[in-house]
Copies of this chain bind each other. A is one copy, B any other.
Amino acid sequence: MAIRPLNPNTFANSPLDRAGHVRHDEAALAALRSNDNARVAVLRDGRPLVAPRAPTDAAQIAWLKAGQTEKLAHSVEIFLGLDGDVPLFAREATHLMDPREGGPLAGLGEFHELRSLLPFLPAGDAAILAQARALLDWHARHGFCAKCGNASVVSQAGYRRDCPACKAEHFPRTDPVVIMVGTCGDEALLGRGAQWPQHRFSALAGFLEPGETIEEAVARELEEEAGVRAVSVRYLFSQPWPFPSNLMIACLAEVADKTLKVDSDELAEARWFKKSELPQVLNGTHPDKFLGPPPFAVAHQLIKAWCET
C-alpha cells in the first residue's frame, strides 16, 4: 500500500521489505543467502552492474545468482531485504575485472555511473541502488575505527562496523541536507552555483548542522547564501541521495523582503523567477535560455510542486 502523500522523487518508494530482524540472526541470514531465489547486485566504486545496456538505453540491475558471485566471497556484503520472497543482497566488486575485459562478470552486464543511468532505470531499481550504494560507499570510506584508529570489521549484515580493539560500534551515516526554494508571493528564489554554466539555476541547499532544527537550517542557508530572511518554512518531501549518503529535506520558505545579498563564495548569482515562467525553466524552453535542475533532482520536484500550488 502506498504512503501518502506520494513521493515524486527518484530513489524514493523502495519496493523492498528491509526485514531488519534478519541482520542480527546469523542462521536466518545464512538461509536467505543460500536460498535458490537469492540474488546479488554488484557495485564497483559506486557504479552498479546493469544489463542489458547496449544496444538499447533501457537498463536494469544485473541480479546475479549465487554461483555467479563466488569471486566476491570476501567482499563487503549488504543484505538489502526481501522483494516478495526473493532475498536480495549487494556486494562490492572493486577488485574484479571490468566485465568488458573478461573475468567472472564477463557477459553479465556493464558498470555505469548511477547518476547517468537514472533516466533509464525502473523506479524500484533506483531506490534499491540508493540503499546499496550508500551502504557500500560508507564501508569503503570507514574501514577504520574513528575512536581508536584500528581496523574495524563488517557486522549486522552490513549495517554496522565493529572495532575488535576498543569495542566501539559504528553505524552507517546519513547526512541531512536542507534544500529550499525561497518564495515571495508569486516569485521563487533560485541560485546559480559558483562553477555552474551561465543559465543553470536551482534551489539553494546546505548540510544541516549539529544543534539545528530543519527550519533553522533552512533559514540559515537562505541568509548565508542570498541574504534573505525566512519568516515561515514548510517541509514538502524528502529524497535519499546516495552521493554519497544524504537525506535531502525539501522545503518552501516564505521570505518577507526580496532584497538579495549574494555570497559570492557560494553562488555566482541568485535571482527571483515568476511562477509563470518556471515551467519553461524546468523543461528547457525559457526564452532567456534559463535551465532548471533535472527531473531526478529533488530541486526539480520542489520547484514543480510549488508551481502547482
Instruction: Enumerate chain A interface residues (CB-CB to B < 8 A).
Output: 1, 3-5, 7, 9, 11-14, 18, 20-21, 127-128, 130-132, 134-135, 138, 141-151, 159, 168, 170-176, 207-216, 219-220, 224, 229-233, 235, 237-240, 242, 245, 247, 249, 256, 263, 265
Contact = CB atoms under 8 A, between A and B. Distances in A.
A284 B294 CA distance: 52
Given A144-B146, A173-B175, A216-B14, A134 B3 contact: no
B247 A134 contact: no
A211 B7 CA distance: 14
Contacts of A132: 211
Contacts of A151: 149
A3 B219 contact: yes
B232 A5 contact: yes
Given A1-B229, A3-B233, A4-B232, A9 B213 contact: yes
A213 B263 CA distance: 31
A127 B174 contact: no
Nearest to A248: B213
A185 B205 CA distance: 37
Nearest to A144: B149
A145 B176 CA distance: 21
A216 B17 CA distance: 11
B141 A211 contact: no
Given A1-B229, A235-B235, A172 B210 contact: yes
Contacts of A21: 224, 263, 265
A3 B12 CA distance: 29
Contacts of A230: 3
Contact of A173 (B127, B173, B231): B173
Given A21-B224, A144-B149, A149-B151, 7 more contacts: A13-B213, A130-B211, A141-B147, A142-B146, A144-B144, A171-B175, A176-B247
A20 B208 CA distance: 12
Contact of A249 (B18, B127, B214, B240): B214
A52 B296 CA distance: 54
A210 B3 contact: no
B148 A231 contact: no
B127 A211 contact: yes
A129 to B, nearest CB: 8
